[in-house]
A and B are shown apart, each in its own frame.
Chain A
Amino acid sequence: MKGMVIDMKKKISKRRAVFIVVWLLLIFFLLGAILILKSPPNETESIKEVMKDGVLHDRNKISLFGIIDVNPALISAYVVTAVLLVVAALIRIFAIPKFKYVPGKFQIVIEKLVEFFNDMAHANSPHKTGFISAYIFSAGVYIFFSTLFELLGVQAVTTEGHSIALPAPIADINAAIAMGFMTYTIILLGGIICNGINGGLKVLKDFSLPISMSFRLFGALLSGLLVTELVYYYISLSFVLPVVVGILFTTLHALIQTYVLATLASVFYGEAVEPKKPKEPKRSGKSKQPEAPEESTAA
């Protein structure tokens, strides 16, 4: 009898658990459906305006020390730079002096970061690596962390008094152009220093490089930004999706753009600084012909 009673009790508790789960799922489903089907709220900015501002940054400006009104991305860039420099200084002061030949976890992360860009520079530009490895390291770290900076959603106040979340610096066309032209200038200078005017001319032939680099960065970051803006705009999509979409787009873009810019910069730099191959003397039949008559005349 006792055994039967225990079995009955177990069955009842199992049914109760299933019921509670189904019930909760039903509630969540209904809540989700209500939120999704609800019409978008009356915002001060329409989606068109939000997306236009996301691309052009012509509306929301932030005052830079009261000197000039700039795009929010520039503030992001300076904030990221400040944070990165402080972190780098802390690592330099506290971590690097304690580095050991058998590394710990943190040391491995730092070493891998440096090794990754250093190896990339060695692979793509084997003739001159010193400068370009440091450059792509800095550019890579900047692009990666400044893109991830968007995830933090740091708030700032615009000149019009609105509160906005600071975007990724590279999502601003000005930042992308700055990166593209700086990279191109470095490649050009590398070509001139290593191969003289000819090297410089060789780089100048690829005049589309800075434009392609700039717009690739800008386009890639912007596409992520627009999708995220779109998702954020509709409040009904803002419960679960932003976490997935935001992190997915931002992290992927951060990784991909870091890799792409570092690879392109090192490859083009490697081509520009590659030493000229000495010309091989021509061995044609004509060059041998004059010798034969001489021999015959001598004979």
Chain B
Amino acid sequence: MPLNIDVVQILLHMLNFVILAGGLTLLLFKPVKKFLDERQKYFADKEKKLAEGLENNENLRAEYEKKLSTVDSEIEEMKLNAKNETAKEAKEYLNNAQEKAAAIISEAESQAEDRKEHILDSAQTEIGELVVEATQKLLETNANPDRTHELYDEFIKSMVRDVQ
């Protein structure tokens, strides 16, 4: 063969390179590439998370800024609400107090009425007893049949008048 080309040696070189290529690919290329891919994925994920976090922060900032811009009117509204609420509660409290006072007064009046009736009843009884006692004493001291008849008549007359 020209140039000392030898097919067997070409094949031996090919065999050599096939062994080398397989070994290098398995031992070096693939493990290193796997590591590089993992690292790329790790940092890509990290970057993605960071971007998401930044977006969230931006949204929150916008939201808070919006809230801050409306906070004065909200405070005013809350103040007004609180004032209305307080006035309503005060009114209810006052109404309750008035109702209670009216109930107390009504109960006191009823009790006073009862008491008055009771006192009048007892006073009538006592007066009646006193009258009877006085009458007995009077009768005992001034026992006069004419006078007695006269008193009985007078009493009957007065009764008749009352009845009429």
Contact = CB atoms under 8 A, between A and B. Distances in A.
A8 B13 CA distance: 72
A178 interface: yes
Nearest to B11: A178
B9 A174 contact: yes
B128 interface: no
A78 to B, nearest CB: 6
A118 interface: yes
Contacts of B75: none
A178 B24 contact: no
B3 A56 contact: yes
B127 interface: no
B30 A178 contact: no
A175 B4 CA distance: 12
Interface string A74-113: 1001101100110011011000100101000000001100
Given A134-B25, A178-B10, 12 more contacts: A57-B4, A81-B17, A84-B24, A85-B23, A88-B24, A89-B27, A96-B31, A111-B36, A114-B36, A133-B33, A174-B10, A178-B11
A179 interface: yes
A28 to B, nearest CB: 43
B14 A182 contact: yes
B29 A137 contact: yes
Nearest to A115: B36
Contacts of B29: 114, 133-134, 137-138
A55 B19 CA distance: 26
Contacts of B4: 56-58, 71, 173-174
Nearest to A80: B20
Contact of B21 (A134, A169, A177): A134
Given A56-B3, A68-B8, A101-B42, A178 B36 contact: no
A78 B3 contact: no
Contact of A110 (B17, B30, B32): B32
A230 interface: no
B5 A99 contact: no
A279 B63 CA distance: 53
Nearest to A91: B28
B15 to A, nearest CB: 9
B27 A92 contact: yes
Nearest to A118: B33
A78 B17 CA distance: 9
A55 B3 CA distance: 8
